């Protein structure tokens, strides 16, 4: 692939407005779009678990990403 064709492919995204979700990219409806839903937290946990080397690696990654529940039962990413 030459650089001209890769630049042309990237140019197709110039008119996409990432703030409003236009351009065919779905975004969360009805709620604050900046909030993380419980479903998103669960899906992120599954992805981390599938890609972790072992249980300790998984726990460490979940903690770094704020996906482990805190003392109040709510993951930091959801606060």
The tens digit of pLDDT for each residue in 17-71 reads 555 555 565 665 666 767 888 999 999 999 999 999 999 999 999 999 999 998 9
Q: What is the pLDDT of residue 30?
A: 62
Domain, as residue range, for 68: 36-79
Which DSSP string do the residues of the chain spell out, in sequence order? --HHHHHHHHHTTTT--TTTT-SS-----SS-TTSPPHHHHHHHHHHHHHH-SSHHHHHHHHHHTT-S--TTSS-GGG-
Q: What is the pLDDT of residue 15?
A: 54
- Indicate yes or no: pTM above 0.75: no
Asked whether residue 45 is domain-assigned, the answer is: yes
Asked whether residue 8 is domain-assigned, the answer is: no
Asked whether residue 1 is domain-assigned, the answer is: no
Q: What is the pLDDT of residue 58?
A: 95
């Amino acid at each position: 692939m030459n650089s001209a064709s890769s630049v042309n492919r990237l140019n197709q995204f110039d008119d996409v407005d990432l703030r409003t979700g236009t351009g065919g990219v779905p975004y969360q409806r009805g709620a604050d779009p900046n909030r993380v839903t419980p479903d998103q937290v669960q899906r992120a946990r599954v992805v981390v678990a599938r890609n972790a080397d072992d249980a300790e690696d998984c726990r460490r990654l979940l903690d770094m990403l704020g996906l482990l529940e805190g003392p109040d039962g709510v993951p930091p990413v959801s606060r």
